[in-house]
Amino acid sequence: MTTQSPPQPLRLVVDLNLCQSYGQCVYAAPTVFRFHGEESLEYDYAPDAGLRREVERAAAACPVQAITLSGATEPAPTVGGADR
């Protein structure tokens, strides 16, 4: 019998100096990321662990890799698309 440990809480940081407001994170995880006004990004710093895949996809979709996620289970794709 194997027991699974509870999911690790997510911790999310967006480098707002690096962010260019492309909005790919908003499309990938609309319950976590949203725009306030036209270009100001808002996000949940500690999203529910059940949103892990959605948040990981949002981080991977960021064209400038401005999203840092601790507790991630999947690595972000390499720049240049070497893993496609």
Domain residue extents for the chain: 14-70
Q: CATH class for domain 14-70?
A: alpha beta
- pLDDT at residue number 48: 92
Show the beta-strand stretches assigned E in the chain.
11-14, 33-36, 40-43, 67-70
Q: What is the pTM of this model?
A: 0.72
Query: pLDDT value at position 43?
Result: 95
Question: What pLDDT does residue 67 have?
Answer: 96
Q: Which of 81, 83, 28 is closest to 12 using CA atoms?
A: 28
Ranges of residues in the chain with a pLDDT under 70 are 1-7, 71-84
What's the confidence (pLDDT) of residue 80?
52
